[in-house]
Amino acid sequence: MKEQEETVENSNNNEEIETFKELGINEELCSACERIGWKKPMPIQQKVIPVALKGRDVIGLAETGSGKTAAFALPILQSLMSNPQRLFAVVLAPTRELAFQISDQFVALGATIGLQVCMFFSKFEEKFANFFEATIVGGIDMSTQTLSLSKRPHVIVATPGRLVDHLENTKGFDLRSVKYLVLDEADRILNMDFELELDKILKVIPNTRHTFLFSATMTHKVSKLERAHLKKPVRVELSTKYQTVSTLIQNMLFIPFKYKEAYLVHVLNEKAGNTAIVFCSTCASSVKIALMLRQLSFGAIALHGQMSQPKRLGALNKFKKKDRPILVCTDVASRGLDIPHVDVVLNYDVPTHSKDYVHRVGRTARAGKSGISITIVTQYDVEIYQKVENSIGKRLDPLEINHEEVMKLVERVSEAGRMAANRYKEMLEGSKGGGSKKHKLMLGVNNEDEDLEPARKRQKAVLMKKKKNR
């Protein structure tokens, strides 16, 4: 049953907030903020911190880069200073990159008041005597993390999959004393197939905890999570406007979900001879789409966040040389890499963050050149898509397309999709046909990719369950 929800959208509009002290933050943490260059609270901090300090559950709808980490870190640290306790707070993030960013914020706030940073844990020596913070993510040796957990840290920043690994395999580790739970970028957590892990975590954390949920969009899954696990939450919402260049032609394509792959293939056929980037929401889907396109004789290559940096660069070089003119990638993989100007950007999956949309389409129409972006929208993407349109302050023009021609492709594309799915299963199961090392290297997926193994485990569990139900 959904608890009564309050909304804070335009608080503090009549009275300008200039300092963290005005929000109720104590002297020690105000000094910490000042020393690391945080002089004036950002809008999300102005709205969330007073509510959080009162002990209320919070739903914060805000983009990455809005300052939301400090919005939950400061109230947690202030509460911890008043009531020092082991395993005080758990912060969940969708990716290890974000987990380390969050950890860095906790460390930065603590360092100014005596925090010493070690490899996987940190210690306060003064105000937080014997205080530890641990970052628990995939791609790092579990035994090292087990050592950090054995010291019973006050704050754990983790990705859901690795935290569940420790709950199931690390002797003596539990979350029964946790007072605060933060779900950062909850829409991405739920969109990355972490629902099973999240359910396991929520079952072992006390119901008496305080919960802070942050998301770029209020999707159906996020709303369901809110109803089930937050108590009388206060909803804080920020509207953010992002700009795209005038030389960019932006189109959208509203189509039925079941024909999504066929429409993608049709658009790529229409844009033949151009370089294109196809953006997917998950690593698995980027590989599956690349496999499907290769079945249809497209020169596609996958680039995703579970690849090592050398493999990412190798895939990128093939794209730059136009050996593979279609790059199928995820947002995480594309960040920090020198991806050249491309002719067409295709959003196969609608980005959950408006900033990601601007980042994606910014790969084309550079330096005054023209470019085209096409966003595929299904009946399940309408809410997220409308959020993107509102953020960029522009309605995208529908793409003119011959739907009858698309229908002629459906059977052939569906068969290619089935073959790609089977090939992907073989890769996960490590069987000979399609699971060979040569084939994996060709796609940018191999056993050396550290973060692929947890995904493989989840996929294998699903496969085993299906086999049992037959």
Q: Same domain for 91 and 203?
A: yes
User: How far apart, in whole angstroms, are the C-alpha atoms of residue 245 and residue 225?
Assistant: 36
Q: Same domain for 174 and 277?
A: no
Query: What pLDDT does 134 receive?
Result: 58
Q: Same domain for 342 and 451?
A: yes
3-state secondary structure of 22: helix
Read off the pLDDT band of 87 (50, 70, 90): confident
pLDDT greater than 70 at residue 133: no
Q: Same domain for 212 and 252?
A: no
Place of tokens 């963290």: 20
Query: What pLDDT does 116 receive?
Result: 32
pLDDT in tens, 92-110: 998 877 888 888 888 888 7
Q: Same domain for 233 and 252?
A: no
**Cα Rg of the chain (Å, integer):** 23
How many residues appear in the chain? 470
Domain C-terminal end among 209, 237, 265:
237
Domain C-terminal end among 188, 214, 237:
237
User: How far apart, in whole angstroms, are the C-alpha atoms of residue 378 and residue 380?
Assistant: 5
Residue 229: inside a domain, yes or no? yes
How many structural domains is the chain composed of?
2
pLDDT in tens, 279-320: 999 888 999 999 999 999 999 999 987 777 677 778 888 998
pLDDT greater than 90 at residue 73: yes
- Average pLDDT, stretch 165-181? 87
- For residue 392, give the nearest of 417, 445, 348, 355 by alpha carbon: 355
User: How far apart, in whole angstroms, are the C-alpha atoms of residue 139 and residue 332?
Assistant: 15
Residue 309: inside a domain, yes or no? yes
A 10 A CB-CB count for 197 gives: 22
Residue 46: inside a domain, yes or no? yes
pLDDT greater than 90 at residue 5: no
Q: Same domain for 71 and 219?
A: yes
Which of 14-28, 79-93, 122-136, 262-276 has the highest average model confidence (pLDDT)?
262-276
pLDDT in tens, 219-234: 788 899 999 899 999 9
pLDDT greater than 60 at residue 145: yes
Q: Same domain for 267 and 209?
A: no
Domain C-terminal end among 170, 204, 237:
237
User: How far apart, in whole angstroms, are the C-alpha atoms of residue 101 and residue 332?
Assistant: 14
Contacts of 145 (CB under 8 A, 6+ apart): 120, 134, 136, 162, 166
pLDDT greater than 60 at residue 10: no
Percent pLDDT > 90 in the chain is: 43
Q: Same domain for 224 and 277?
A: no
Q: Same domain for 198 and 260?
A: no
Residue 243: inside a domain, yes or no? no
Q: Same domain for 150 and 231?
A: yes
User: How far apart, in whole angstroms, are the C-alpha atoms of residue 351 and residue 331?
Assistant: 9
3-state secondary structure of 251: strand
Give me the residues paired with residue 377 across strands. 254
pLDDT in tens, 35-70: 888 889 999 999 999 999 999 999 998 766 678 899
Which of 27-36, 212-221, 236-245 has the highest average model confidence (pLDDT)?
27-36
3-state secondary structure of 47: helix
Q: At residue 59, what is the residue type?
A: I
Read off the pLDDT band of 326 (50, 70, 90): very high
Query: Beta-strand (E) ranges in 216-263?
Result: 234-237, 248-254
User: How far apart, in whole angstroms, are the C-alpha atoms of residue 347 and residue 345?
Assistant: 7
Which CATH number fits the domain that encloses residue 71?
3.40.50.300
Q: Same domain for 333 and 194?
A: no
Residue 168: inside a domain, yes or no? yes
Residue 242: inside a domain, yes or no? no
Q: What is the strand order of the sheet 131-136 is part of?
A: 6-8, 234-237, 58-61, 210-215, 180-183, 89-92, 155-158, 131-136, 121-124, 115-117
Tell me the residue range of the domain where 121 lies.
6-237
Residue 1: inside a domain, yes or no? no
Tell me the average pLDDT of the chain: 80
pLDDT greater than 80 at residue 447: no
Query: What pLDDT does 459 receive?
Result: 47
Read off the pLDDT band of 146 (50, 70, 90): low
Residue 52: C-alpha distances to residues 63, 98, 180 (Å): 19, 22, 11
User: How far apart, in whole angstroms, are the C-alpha atoms of residue 266 and residue 236?
Assistant: 41
Residue 321: inside a domain, yes or no? yes
User: How far apart, in whole angstroms, are the C-alpha atoms of residue 301 and residue 356?
Assistant: 21
Q: Same domain for 189 and 321?
A: no
C-alpha neighbours within 13 Å on the C-beta side of residue 404: 0
Read off the pLDDT band of 151 (50, 70, 90): low
Positive or negative CA dihedral for 74, 77, 83, 87?
positive
